[in-house]
A = this chain, B = another copy of it.
Amino acid sequence: MTRRGRPGYDLESLLAVAVKLFNERGYEATSMEELSRKLGITKSAIYYHVASKDELLRLAVDRALDGLFTVADEATAIEGPAIDRLEFLIRGSIKVLVDRLPFVTLLLRVRGNTKVERAALARRREFDQLVTELVKQAEAEGDVRQDIDPSVTARLLFGTVNSLIEWYRPRGGLGSAELADAVCAIAFDGLRTR
């Protein structure tokens, strides 16, 4: 799209600043007034790009969700045992989390107070359901332990993945692939030496 208004703010950079602010102060606590101050542009310059604060939120959480569902589609297309699809999904989700950290952080803090938030939560549930199905299949194929309820296993797995937003910072630490190695090593084979 053509960029208008003050130089430096296309939709992408506006979204980046908005998401940073939402993550710092909370989505509800942040006003368009504050956002415009932070950006150093008028509110109408913001409204040139988006119709509302809600639309900013929708665009932001969709960055995260679209990334996760692309990985889910790729995982589903993999032939072979379900445990491989499950591992692919975990690794891919960690890559999305690392590559789109502010967007995934915002998504995971959404509480369901608005229509946009409820839509995001519904997509998250759809994703969780898909993980549970993969765990069930992998159990049925005899590759995953059967002593834990598949939905609990799915929640624990993605609980571990999602908890990365609390401490993982891309700079000066593990890369996304090494992080995925660590998560999968523990989740699939356990901490205990054999």
Contact = CB atoms under 8 A, between A and B. Distances in A.
A81 to B, nearest CB: 11
A160 B28 CA distance: 27
A188 B191 contact: yes
A83 B157 CA distance: 21
Interface stretch (A2-10, A60-68, A98-106, A179-187): A179-187
Contacts of A145: 185, 189, 191-193
Count identical subunits in the complex. 2
A140 to B, nearest CB: 12
Contacts of A190: 186-190
Interface residues of A, number: 38
A166 B156 contact: no
Nearest to A167: B155
Nearest to A111: B24
A186 B185 contact: no
